[in-house]
A and B are shown apart, each in its own frame.
Chain A
Amino acid sequence: QMQLQESGPGLVKPSETLSLRCSVSGESIITGDYFWSWLRQYPGRGLEWIGYIYSSGTSYTNPSLTNRLSILVDTSANQFSLRLKSVTVADTAVYYCARVNIYYGDAFDLWGPGTMVFVST
């Protein structure tokens, strides 16, 4: 049974780069059935899609974040990652990695538990 697990620093300083990793276990990330996605949830409840990547390396990102965002995949390690540059306090959120299932209309059908990231001095 596939599981996802986020990892990364809980605290990042303003203007620095946030790097998070999502480890996929239970099944290979190299499957044609899924995309691999990042989302975040602000303290007030709102959810925001950040972007997703296919195992080939093709990625799609939220237009509002594209100029600061990189999403990469490491198939040898069965992981994918997020790099968000020049963070501000507005990037404080719980960050989730999730699986996008193409047979479920591209819904997010499996989520990691999430990791809280604070942007603060």
Chain B
Amino acid sequence: QSVLTQPPSVSAAPGQTVSISCSGVNSNSETDFDVHWYQQHPGKAPRLVIYDDNIRPSWVPDRISASTSGTSASLVISGLQPEDEAVYFCQSYDSHVGNKVFGGGTKLTVL
């Protein structure tokens, strides 16, 4: 069972905007630890798309953004394209167990 909670799936049509939530961030700590997001296509390794809560690496389009608020984080993808269909994972640090932790992943379907 993942420490960070994500919805199992979300879907939207091409061109629309979708949000993926991640709850349980920093719930065991007084320190704010960074949240990172990864995209994984079938049969491939995960790929970093957001680091430090809301920063895009150079290879990620600006259609992808993220934010944090309290014990939740959100990934937002606008102008959905077929290639955005993938599983998205959030990741942070749980100081209670001294461990990097992941959400269970959210399958994004582009209808």
Contacts and interface: CB of A to CB of B under 8 A. Distances in A.
A48 B38 contact: no
A97 to B, nearest CB: 10
27 contacts: A45-B87, A46-B102, A47-B46, A47-B105, A49-B100, A49-B102, A62-B99, A62-B100, A63-B98, A63-B99, A64-B99, A96-B46, A101-B51, A104-B55, A104-B57, A106-B100, A107-B51, A107-B91, A108-B36, A108-B38, A108-B46, A108-B48, A108-B91, A109-B57, A111-B46, A111-B47, A113-B45
Contact of B51 (A64, A98, A105, A114): A105
Contacts of B51: 101, 104-105, 107, 109
B54 to A, nearest CB: 11
Interface of B: 2, 34, 36, 38, 44-48, 51-52, 55, 57, 87, 89, 91, 93, 97-102, 104-105
A111 B48 CA distance: 9
